[in-house]
Amino acid sequence: MSEKPIYKRVLLKVSGEALMGNQGYGLDPQMVQQVADDVVAVARAGVQVSLVIGGGNIFRGISAAARGMDRAQGDYAGMLATVINALMMQNALEKAGLATRVMSAIAMSSICEPYIRRRAIRHMEKGRVVIFAAGTGNPFFTTDTAAALRAAEMECDALLKGTQVDGVYSADPRKDPGAARYDELTYMDVLSRDLAVMDASAISLARENKLPILVFNIHEAGNFADVLRGTGRFTRIVE
């Protein structure tokens, strides 16, 4: 990263599906490595980075519930899926030479640390990338909400949502060629127009904490750093 990033501490939310690549399930090691390389570049530029990774590439409670599984039980399985993704990402980041910690909302002491807010802040101050696993630790929530929650707790300057497209559109740009991309939206725009960015509880949490959300395309290498410099293509969601 050549120019100075605008933000000091950020949280990047990446869905499990974004790490799936073109596969129908699981993780594409190349995609994991690409995201890891982007995180390394940003961390090396001096930005304190934390991550929340979804689990939808492995298991979603709501889909299991539609097939007859108890919803809460399915959600716990979904949270465990996020731990698998977190360990894969930790491996890729550490191979690239970055110190990282996985902190789980569900105690799993043999493989990662428990989530302790003050300790997480300390890790970041020391330049370690913290990966928050197991969502909020509660069923009936999503990792989008976990991302907004952890970003607020960490007093991050921005929450970055890495998606499949370069921002928020008026309609799905992959289906509607007339879809327009927004440069900036308010939290209320997203909520009242029911724009598919993050779920409503995540948006509300960000709004209450005046946490800017930057939505960008995670599939383009180098984009994470560009967005943090304010030069990439992205949608900014603010008050």
Q: Which chain residues interact with ligand UDP by CB under 6 A?
A: 15-17, 54-56, 60-62, 74-75, 78-79, 81-82, 135-136, 138-139, 141-144, 146
Q: Are 112 and 84 in contact (CB under 8 A)?
A: no
Distance of closest approach, residue 135 Cβ to ligand UDP, in angstroms: 2
Annotated binding residue 212? no
Annotated binding residue 194? no
Rounded to the nearest 5 degrees, what angle is found at the Cα of 141, between the Cα atoms of 108 and 195? 140
Q: Helix 200-208 vs helix 143-153: angle between axes, to the nearest 10 degrees?
A: 10
- Rounded distance between C-alpha atoms, residue 145 and residue 33, angstroms: 25
Q: How far is the first Cα of the chain from the last one, in angstroms, to the nearest whole number?
A: 29
Annotated binding residue 132? no
| Dihedral sign, Cα of residue 98, residue 144, residue 78, residue 162 | negative
Q: Which is nearer to ligand UDP, 100 or 143 (CB)?
A: 143
- Rounded distance between C-alpha atoms, residue 60 and residue 149, angstroms: 20
Q: Which is nearer to ligand UDP, 90 or 136 (CB)?
A: 136
| Dihedral sign, Cα of residue 163, residue 165, residue 168, residue 171 | negative
Q: Which is nearer to ligand UDP, 49 or 52 (CB)?
A: 52
CA-nearest of 148, 141, 160, 155 to 230 is 160
Q: Which is nearer to ligand UDP, 100 or 136 (CB)?
A: 136
Distance of closest approach, residue 68 Cβ to ligand UDP, in angstroms: 15
Q: Which is nearer to ligand UDP, 5 or 167 (CB)?
A: 167
Rg, Å, the chain Cα set: 17
> Which residue's CB comes closest to ligand UDP?
54
Annotated binding residue 172? yes
Annotated binding residue 235? no
Annotated binding residue 138? yes
DSSP structure class, residue 4: P
Annotated binding residue 104? no
Single-letter amino acid code for the residue at 111: I
Distance of closest approach, residue 6 Cβ to ligand UDP, in angstroms: 25
Tokens of 70: 């108890």
Q: Which is nearer to ligand UDP, 163 or 235 (CB)?
A: 163
Annotated binding residue 141? yes
Tokens of 47: 């930005």
Residues at the annotated binding site for UMP? Answer: 55, 75, 136-143
Residues at the annotated binding site? Answer: 13-16, 55-56, 60, 75, 136-143, 163-164, 169, 172
Residues at the annotated binding site for ATP? Answer: 13-16, 56, 60, 163-164, 169, 172
